[in-house]
Amino acid sequence: MDEQKKNMLSLIQPTNTPHLGNYLGAMRNWVKMQNEYNCFFGIADLHSITVRQDPVKLRAQIKESYALLIAAGLDPEKSVLFVQGHNPTHAELSWVLSCYTQFGELSRMTQFKDKSAKHPDNINAGLFTYPVLMAADILLYQANYVPVGQDQLQHLELARNIVQRFNGIYGDVFTMPEGYITKSTAKVMSLQEPTKKMSKSDENANASVWVLDDRDTIIRKFKRAVTDSETEICAREGKDGIINLMSIYSAATDKSFEEIEREFNGKGYGEFKLAVGEAVADMLAPMQSEFKRISADKSYVEQCMKDGAEKAYKFSRKTLSKVYKKVGFVTF
């Protein structure tokens, strides 16, 4: 680790193939970050089981998600790429931090309320204490920055509260993490309900574009994207579907909204949707090709996982040992 650089941590859940929003909002930005920060990127397999998973499918998705990180451009030599469950310090620190987190703080978490409503037959304790594990993820690596979307800000705030409380009792143990919000990130909405974010759990097959969708599938989904009854391609109130498509096209081509409006001035929605689909397919093609190559080399992926687990454990163990010592445990 370069002591001159700040630490950055981000995890992605393996509960499905990442969609276009995950790629533009997280994965693509991670590639740029690995040159500026000491980066820890992980697959959050422990988090995924708050909702029942098919073990065979989950195992395959963990491997797929890991290979995708490398295919997207993350370098295992530059960054620490690991699977959360391969590093026992996450669960260990989570228990300690749960003893420094108030019940009232957790009961106010909106994601707990939302997921409880979605899965009323499985309101488990893990779903309730999930934010403590997330805090452990962040604090183990002394992360200065955590890339967060709007829906994770509340969890980051809880992690900051825990730092304040713990450090207030025991001194300077944890780094105070800050949210890292990239200004250029496209907020990708559902292609079928453009007022809602694109989601892994959407049951409508045409609502989300998955990063491993083939070219024809991507173009077909964009052709079916919901727009409006007008004909003008511009960004103004009431044109949520068109704004979403413009935002995606902008992210794929680096063109501004003004340039897009000029390019499609007088052209129809059909032509615009086709252009967006083709631009997205072109953008994802190199990663898809690299993913096929990496996935075929199973021993390489496994070796990268082992190396990443060792690096993650070595770094995080220092933090955990310090915590155990501070709270009064006998350590060897």
**The one catalytic residue among 6, 187, 200, 223:** 200
Q: Checking DSSP bridges between strand 38-43 and strand 7-12, what pairing results, if any?
A: parallel
Q: What is the DSSP letter of 41?
A: E
**The one catalytic residue among 6, 32, 113, 197:** 197
Active site residue 311: no
Burial environment of residue 280 by CB neighbours within 10 A (0 to 12, 13 to 18, 19 or more): buried
CA dihedral sign, ordered 60, 199, 244, 242 = positive
Long-range contacts of 177-180 (CB under 8 A, 24+ apart): 177/138, 177/139, 177/143, 177/144, 177/145, 177/146, 178/144, 178/145, 178/146, 179/145, 179/146, 179/147, 179/148, 179/153, 180/8, 180/145, 180/146, 180/147, 180/148
List CB contacts of 265: < 8 A, sequence separation 6 or more. Answer: 233
**H/E segment holding residue 274:** helix 269-296
**The one catalytic residue among 63, 115, 239, 311:** 115
3-state DSSP percent of the chain in helix, strand and coil, to 5: 55, 10, 35
Active site residue 223: no
Active site residue 115: yes
Which residues carry out catalysis? 115, 197, 200
